[in-house]
Amino acid sequence: MANISTSEAIESLAAEIGENIYIDVAKWHLYLSNAHLHTVLAERLYPMLTSKSLNEDQVLKVLQSIPVKLGGGKREVPLADLLPMQCQVNLMDILEQFQRNL
C-alpha cells in the first residue's frame, strides 16, 4: 500500500469502514457506506494513521465530532452514540491493520 496516493488510501480505508462498521437504530444495522458516513470518517481518521498517532481516545473524539442528522434534521446525534461497542472495537482493529499496511 506504500505506493498509492493519499486519495486512493482514503478511498480504500473508507471502503473497509463502510463495509464493516454500522450504526444500530432500533436493532437495525445501517452500514456506514449506506449512511454515506464512511468517507468523512476515513478522511478524519487517515491523518492519525500516517502520523502514527492512532489511539482509542482520539478515535472516540472523532466519532463524537461527526453529527448524524435524524428525523430529517430535527435532531443530531454524535456518530459515537450510534455505534455499538463491538463496532467501535472493530473500527480500531481496521485502523490498526490499515496502519500496519501503510
The residue ranges of every structural domain in the chain are 6-101
pLDDT at 1: 54
pTM of the model: 0.93
Interhelix angle for 56-65 vs 85-101, to 10°? 120
Are the beta carbons of 31 and 18 closer than 8 angstroms? yes
According to the model, what pLDDT value does residue 2 have? Answer: 52
Q: Alpha-carbon distance 91 to 95, whole Å?
A: 6
Q: CA gyration radius for the chain?
A: 13
Euclidean distance between CA atoms 67 and 70, whole angstroms: 10
Give the strand pairing for 67-70 and 75-78.
Answer: antiparallel
Residues 30-73 pLDDT 10s: 999 999 999 999 999 999 999 988 999 999 999 999 999 999 99
The whole-number pLDDT of residue 102 equals 87
Confidence of residue 3 (pLDDT cuts 50, 70, 90): low
Instruction: Quick: pLDDT tens for 88-101.
Output: 999 999 999 999 99
Residue 24 CB: number of other CB atoms within 10 A? 13
